[in-house]
Amino acid sequence: MHPNPTGPTVVERELELKLVLSPETGIPVPARLGYHTDDPYAVHITFHIDSGRPVHWTFARDLLVEGVFRPSGHGDVRVWPSKAEGRSVVLIALSSPDGDALLEAPTPQVSAWLERTLRTVPPGTEGAWLGIDDGLAELLAR
């Protein structure tokens, strides 16, 4: 049975990230963290940089969870903990053919939002939200 028969649950959080331009310079960037139970392995970040069009990134929730505590990821998305002006921050490095960006996010807000996603869909239960377990059980029952 699907854990949520009423449809997907969305866990969102608006926050301000900082686009790091140099060690001394950064510009504030409004962003939205999104988590959807119908895509339980992924997190979504939408942010607005000068372009007028929002920029969307999707990557593994595990990568962000781990990146709050220790360096995580490789290639297009890397996440690691750091300090900025005495505050705990999470740095998110994004690489694409369009360019690279280094974003700084406040650890307390990111952690609180991640906690909400982990309460909504505990780690290890994601497959049930996709109906994978049901499909597998059905196959094995034949």
Contacting residues for 54 by C-beta, under 8 A, at least 6 apart:
46, 47, 48
pTM value is 0.83
| pLDDT by position in tens, the chain (length 142) | 445 556 778 999 999 999 999 888 999 999 999 999 989 999 999 988 766 788 899 999 999 999 999 999 988 999 999 998 899 999 999 998 888 899 999 999 999 999 999 999 998 888 887 776 565 566 677 6
First to last CA, the chain: 18
Residue 97: the pLDDT is: 86
Contacts of 17 by beta carbon, 8 Å cutoff, 6+ apart: 28, 29, 30, 31, 47, 92, 103, 104, 105
Q: Are 31 and 17 in contact (CB under 8 A)?
A: yes
